[in-house]
Amino acid sequence: MIVGIDHLGVAVESLETALRFWQGALGMTPEHTEAVGEQGVGTVLLPANGVRIELLEPTGPDTPVGKFLARRGPGLHHVCLLVDDLDAALRTLTASGLRLIDEVPRPGVEGSRIAFLHPAAGAGVLVELKETVRR
């Protein structure tokens, strides 16, 4: 079902401050910047040999990432795994009794289709599934 790792999501208080480390100190180059209104986050993606770091700055305290920051502080937020067929993956996982946050796919960055599994299902790790783009 899983064909790769797309990115690691990192919750930050400020993209600008976080970029001083990821870009300024480590020399990683942002390839994509996008505000995802539906999820209440601004994102910056920094590629590293096929896997990206996704920085997530919440637009306010009442967003999922805003609540995460208040509860846990900045840090690793989720792991995004690639699947070829997101609908089929969600059907399979639902049938196996796994808890999902998203029963149906929702829009992610770069026009992708994504769905989050429940962290309880992932042994404490919030897992995002993203559909590979068919060309």
Distances (CA, A) of 101 to 50, 85, 127: 27, 18, 10
Nearer to Co ion, 68 or 95 (CB): 68
- Region of residue 37 (left: phi > 0; alpha: psi -120 to 50; beta: else): alpha
Q: Does 40 bind Co ion (CB under 5 A)?
A: no
Nearer to Co ion, 78 or 95 (CB): 78
Nearer to Co ion, 9 or 42 (CB): 9
Taking CB under 5 A as the criterion, which residues in 63-92 touch Co ion? 80
Give bridge partners of residue 30 from the DSSP assignment: none
Name the residues that contact Co ion, by CB under 5 A.
9, 54, 80, 128
